[in-house]
Amino acid sequence: MTKAAKPFWKKSWFVPTVMYGLLVVAALALLFLADWATIQRNFFQEDIARRMFPEVLTIGAKNTIIYTAVAFAVGFVLALGLALMKLSPIGPYRWFATSYIELFRGLPALVTIILVAFGLPLAFGWRIPFGTAGKAAFGLGLVAAAYMAETIRAGIQAVPRGQMEAARSLGMSAPTAMTYIILPQAFRIIIPPLTNELVLLIKDTSLLFVVGTTPVSKELTKFGRDFMNLNANATPLTVIALVYLAITLPMTSLVRQLEKKAGKGR
């Protein structure tokens, strides 16, 4: 009795062939189906791109970075407080932190920004100072705090319990042990997820257009969109996409270095 020949789909060359085939088909489809002339005309017009400089950097990128920085700073401080409250032995603190986190994590950032920018003045007659940057700090900061609080809490809980016990047995008070023993270790753990938060925040600043913009307060996306509509061409989108990458890529690689350095101590 002879051994039956293997069907072709069980042959060892079959799966790799299909895999490579799919790649090639996808690449060719992109190459042939895309209308390159139209793409070039709509997304890569050099003269329009040229006209965006230097304002795309001196206004757009600058504001995006400022809004991100203030929102991250406010968010981080709030988040640290919330994370400690959530781990507190005192019930009402925990309840407050939990409600805060659930509320602001559950609301779209856009809604929070509108509520902060328009709702606060309507309700209390109090306008947020420092223009758009103030609204970024409050509106986006409140949202970022909710996400970062959970990250920080997870980081604190990831530090082995023995660390706290050892610190306490050496005579440190609980707050001292938290500040000098637990938090430094927790932050090393949460650098990657915090970077994630920061990158998300950079992009969320594009939502700030709803609070109104003046020519000097536009962030990157609004700047690009206005330029796009002025010229009836999508090239500005390509430019701002590249500027966003020019901000995020060095930042994430910097954080990677930081992470490596922090990892050495472990």
Partner 1 sequence: MKHKWTTSLALVVALALVGAGCGDDDDVDADAFGLVSAGTLTVCTDSPYAPMEFEDADGNFTGFDIELMRAIAKDLGLETAVVNSGFDPITSGLAMESGECDIAAASITITDEREANIDFSDQYFSGDQSLLVKAAGGMNTLASFAGENLGVQTGTTGEIYANENAPDATIVSYEGPGDLLTALVAGEVDGVLQDIVVNGEAALNDDSLSIVETYPTNEFYGLAVQEDGKEALLTAVNASLAKVRADGTYDDIYNDFFK
Residues 152-211 that bind partner 1 (CB under 8 A): 209-211
Instruction: Please identify, using beta-carbon distances, which residue of 1 and 123 lies nearer to partner 1.
Output: 123
- Residues between 239 and 258 that touch partner 1 (CB under 8 A): none
The CA distances from residue 239 to 116, 138, 205, in Å, are: 31, 29, 17
Does 110 sit near partner 1 (CB under 8 A)?
no
Report residue 100 as tokens: 């805060």
Asked if 226 is part of the footprint of partner 1 (rule: CB under 8 A), the reply reads: yes
Closest CA to 76 of 207, 253, 194, 183: 194
The reply to whether 29 sits near partner 1 by the rule CB under 8 A is: yes
User: What torsion do the CA atoms of 92, 98, 100, 106 make, to the nearest 10 degrees?
Assistant: -160
Q: How far is the CB of 247 from partner 1 (least distance, A)?
A: 24
Please tell me whether residue 124 binds partner 1 under the rule CB under 8 A.
Answer: no
Find the binder of partner 1 among 89, 91, 92, 125 (CB under 8 A): 125
Residue 114, sorted as left (phi over 0), alpha (psi -120 to 50) or beta, turns out to be: alpha
Residue from 28, 39, 174, 249 touching partner 1 (CB under 8 A): that is 28
Identity of the residue, 91 or 215, whose beta carbon is nearer to partner 1 in the bound complex: 215
Q: Which of 56, 74, 83, 228 binds partner 1 (CB under 8 A)?
A: 228
Q: CA 204, CA 207: separation in Å to the nearest integer?
A: 6
- The sign of the dihedral angle between the CA atoms of 243, 247, 250, 252 is negative
Q: For residues 57 and 243, what is the distance between their CA atoms, to the nearest angstrom? A: 8
Q: Contact at 8 Å (CB) between 78 and 101?
A: no
Residue 49 makes contact with partner 1 by CB under 8 A = no
Binding segment for partner 1 (CB under 8 A), chosen from 13-21, 81-89, 98-106, 179-187, is: 13-21
Stretch that binds partner 1, among 52-60, 76-84, 88-96, 114-122 (CB under 8 A): 114-122
* Of the candidates 211, 219, 214, the residue with the CA atom closest to the CA atom of residue 120: 211
Task: Compute the radius of gyration of the chain from its Cα atoms.
Answer: 25
Q: Which of 32, 46, 175, 264 binds partner 1 (CB under 8 A)?
A: 32
Which residues are near partner 1 by CB under 8 A? Answer: 12-13, 16-17, 20-21, 24-25, 28-29, 31-33, 117-118, 121-122, 125, 127, 209-215, 225-226, 228-234
